[in-house]
Structure 1
Amino acid sequence: MRIGVYGAASTLLAAVMLQYVYARLGNFFAAGVYLAKSNACLLVLLNFGVFVTVVLGKGLQRVFFGPLRAVEVEHLYERSWFAVTETCLAMTVFRDTFDVPFLAAFAALLFVKIFHWLLQDRVEFMDQAAQLNTIFHARVAVLLSFLWAADAMFIVHAMRVTLRDGPGTWLLFGFEYTILACTVVAVAGRYLLNLAESRMGDEPWEEKSVYLFYLELAIDFVKLTAYVSFFLLLLMLHGLPLHIIRDLYVTARSFFRRCGDLRRYRRATRDMEQRYPTLDHADLAAMADSVCVVCREDMTLPPVPDAAGPNARQEARANEPHARHHHLPKRLPCGHAFHFRCLRSWLERQQSCPTWYVCIAGISM
């Protein structure tokens, strides 16, 4: 309702202004020159352009996403606020070229960013959705292709303008679209991993989290490289670029944190079969609770014939199917026990005992 009232008022005001200017000057060329030089006329036209952009965005949102979830709307407002704030800071660096083309380029950037953010949230929603229809996958595939093409087009245009006119505002926009292109690659990788997992049915894909971790680590590295390069370039050309300090810090912290997680994960999962002993029937019987707290299922062992030799248990376990082997209970140095598969999956996300945080020292040894 509010958008309708705003749109009707904006359209009426723009139509009245155009009719008045054309009737006063008598020809199209003179009217166009007058509109370009009048601040009041430009303000009215920019306001009408904002309305048209909102209507276009709403239409594309209905086509590609349908109704938005509450969390998506919340993330959209938060990210838009940061984007506008950072652009206002960027204007202090490129204040000499602040004009109507700059505002149009910024509006296009924000418009494209919004669909990157929505697509990122929608693909992350795949982890929670039980079943997704063909329309969902078609929307994601088409939007991924469209956003990648848009990012590439703007990057090429920014490179041409920069090479022709020297470093300017399009250097900023080219950098922004480079970061968005990295986001598209990350979203596409996550989507393909989720799609591959959905094709496996009820069988969990244990390696998915590892692939996802390396994907995010690689994207963070590329983003950090781009941020550092752009920061140093602007520092030499225009002074301290305040508008990217926050993003540079957040990206650097994320990258180094992931590097630390990778180092701890590799140390914790190295030689898991030998480092963490497998429980036997006597150990399980002595436990007050034999439930794995990660998957909430009982920990059991395959039966071993009584007439078997002293090495029968190890031979039986070695000949078990791979899936059964991953359900063997393993004991950590702190004394807690979990399924081998559950323990490995947990250590991929957090390098500490699932039931006792103080046990991180024991796992990381």
Structure 2
Amino acid sequence: MVLLGLRRLTLFGLASTALSALVLLNAFVQRQGQFFGTCIHLTQSGGSLLVLCSMLLYAAVISGRTLQRLLFGELRVIEIEHIYERSWFSIMDVCLAMTIFRNEFDLRFVGLFIFLLFVKIFHWICADRVDYMDQAPNVNAAFHLRILATITGLVAIDLAFLAYSVNTIVRFGASMIVVFAFEYTILLVLVVSVLAKYILHTIDLRSEAHWDDKSMYFFYVELFSDFFKLVSYVVFFGVVIHFYGIPLHIVRDLYMTLRSFVQRCRDLVQYHRATANMQQRYPNASEQELAATDRVCIVCREEMVAAAPADPAAQQNAQGNPPARAVATHDPLAPKKLPCGHIFHFRCLRGWLERQQACPTW
């Protein structure tokens, strides 16, 4: 799929370059070499403008790919798939938005949308690359420098275009620029959440011990991100309804964001209920209970060792079993037994309950 896309882009570039050269040469000959006459001829010809716009689009794509290679290097397959999938949805949203702002649709709108699409693509790549930090085999200084430069640039672009959009709305009233104010607000929320995740990943990479609360911090980042997105969607929805009509292009996104936020709130409440008094609610598994299993925690795939009982006489283990280990009251490696009978490390069980409130074997 990647090679096919490159071939199509190459063919598109060759065709656009050839046609643009012919259009310029034709205009230059007809106007007898006059510069201003050639420019007037090009602006008055719809076909010539279409060809030149296609050439500008190709130049923008090449510039974007060059910048992408500079900031991110070679893209992974999953990142390319995400770009194609999300770009398709963005284009469909704009087509639906055109039904509302059809009276204001012009070349300026097309130019702003193309630039917005490029900015979105860099946001998506940056988010995927930060999420990959957990599995990345080598996170070197160059990686950190690229990510920080990308995030800084994206924040500056989002703030600049958001300020421009708000200033335009205040001076000239509501128009199609409302769409771009909303889009850059959503992108700003996204890049701030990416920055927060990057900071958390960096802290975890520099920490020698296992960070048990990392996933919970990520959960709160996603929760606040969904909250600010939901507020932005509601405000935009109200503004567009007041001045134009129902914005069909964000109904799906508004519903998905609302459902995600409500689900995260439910997960948060259920998590606090499930993890309240875990030490007392879930007893430590005994040596006999572990001996009846394969001793492997299915979450981390590591062996579990029973805690040393308080009674010294009970510390005698069966022959061939691993020796019991003195365990602190809140030892993260203490084997905990659920009411269903399954046994897991305390740390693994807590981490699992942050994502789901059911036994991992179900």
TM norm structure 1: 0.88
Report what 2:226 is aligned to.
220
- Give the drift of 1:99: 0.8
Q: Secondary structure at the match of 2:183?
A: helix
- Which residue of the other structure, out of 352, 357, 360, is the alignment partner of 1:351? 357
Query: Cα–Cα, structure 1 residues 351 and 3, in superposed 2: closer, same or farther, change >3 Å?
Result: same
Report what 1:361 is aligned to.
none
- Which residue of the other structure, out of 230, 235, 239, is the alignment partner of 2:241? 235
Report what 2:296 is aligned to.
291
Contact conserved, 2:100 with 2:247, CA < 8 A, in 1? Answer: yes
1:54-85 superposed Cα distances (whole Å, 9 cap, x missing partner): 11111111111222111111111111110101
Number of aligned residue pairs: 344
- Which residue of the other structure, out of 331, 335, 359, is the alignment partner of 1:329? 335
Instruction: Give the RMSD, CA atoms, in angstroms.
Output: 2.0
Between 241-250 and 208-217, the greater mean CA deviation after superposition:
241-250
**Could you tell me how far apart the structure 2 residues matched to 1:262 and 1:321 are?**
25
- Give the drift of 1:28: 3.6
Q: How high is the sequence identity, in percent, across the aligned residues? A: 48
- Give the drift of 1:257: 1.1
**Could you tell me how far apart the structure 2 residues matched to 1:96 and 1:295 are?**
58
- Give the drift of 1:331: 1.5
**Could you tell me how far apart the structure 2 residues matched to 1:231 and 1:306 are?**
66
**Could you tell me how far apart the structure 1 residues matched to 2:122 and 2:143 are?**
15
- Give the drift of 1:90: 0.6
Q: Secondary structure at the match of 1:335?
A: coil
Q: Secondary structure at the match of 1:67?
A: coil
- Give the drift of 1:289: 3.4
Q: Secondary structure at the match of 1:93?
A: coil
Report what 1:65 is aligned to.
72
Report what 1:277 is aligned to.
283
Report what 1:339 is aligned to.
345
Report what 2:4 is aligned to.
none
Q: Indicate whether 1:180 and 2:204 are aligned.
A: no
Between 217-226 and 269-278, the greater mean CA deviation after superposition:
269-278
Report what 2:55 is aligned to.
48
The unaligned stretches of length 5 or more in structure 2 are 1-6, 315-325
Consecutive aligned runs of 4 or more in structure 1 exceeding 6 Å deviation: none
Contact conserved, 2:305 with 2:335, CA < 8 A, in 1? Answer: yes
Report what 1:211 is aligned to.
217
Contact conserved, 2:284 with 2:307, CA < 8 A, in 1? Answer: no
Q: Secondary structure at the match of 1:334?
A: coil
Q: In the alignment, residue 293 of structure 1 is paired with which amino acid?
A: I
- Give the drift of 1:283: 4.1
Contact conserved, 2:204 with 2:211, CA < 8 A, in 1? Answer: yes
1:78-103 superposed Cα distances (whole Å, 9 cap, x missing partner): 11110101001111111011111111
1:269-319 superposed Cα distances (whole Å, 9 cap, x missing partner): 01111111223345445x34333222222322344586589xxxxxx75xx
TM norm structure 2: 0.89
Contact conserved, 2:186 with 2:229, CA < 8 A, in 1? Answer: yes
Report what 1:165 is aligned to.
172
